[in-house]
Chains A and B, each alone.
Chain A
Amino acid sequence: GQNIDQPTEMTATEGAIVQINCTYQTSGFNGLFWYQQHAGEAPTFLSYNVLDGLEEKGRFSSFLSRSKGYSYLLLKELQMKDSASYLCAVMDSNYQLIWGAGTKLIIKP
């Protein structure tokens, strides 16, 4: 079966760095997406990786290792507004997005 695993919840301090991991097992691979979802709001796109390596976008970076079925989202210089759920999703061979359950990130002052 297809499976996306990520931690349920993480806590970090304002100004610090946090890494949210995602491992996946899917039938085929056409890219991995990270989305941010604030409580009561819709998911919004953060990043896309299809080749191995690190993609940097401001304070956020996303890494992919296809051979290991592994990705992480790195958030630097954490701000209170970064408190949200972070969803990992993989596009399989049928171009269907398989979603993880999300990681709730709590930022403390």
Chain B
Amino acid sequence: EVQLLESGGGLVQPGGSLRLSCVASGFTFSSYAMSWVRQAPGKGLEWASGISGSGAGTYYADSVKGRFTISRDNSKNTLYLQMNSLRAEDTAVFFCAKASSGNAFDIWGQGTMVTVSS
């Protein structure tokens, strides 16, 4: 079964850091680009960051550029998101998503909640 499982969310103070993980199973992980998509409480979806299958290419939304770092370990079938200098407005559910060959997100994880508050 194709599956994505996120972990690492939690409560963090403004200015703090957190690292999210997403473990993939059921497909050849290294063959596909991956992304992190977030959703603030009661709000819509926002693409945050993406990475190519090899990990050589990384991409960020302006809202997280310079603060978040996406990476992957293809030997462990795992995607990461290192989040630094967190702000209250980063509070959201973070989903990892697999990109299909046509750049649609065809597989999603269940999400992990990140709360930035003092």
Q: Do A and B bind each other?
A: no
Interface residue ranges, A against B (CB under 8 Å): none
Interface residue ranges, B against A (CB under 8 Å): none
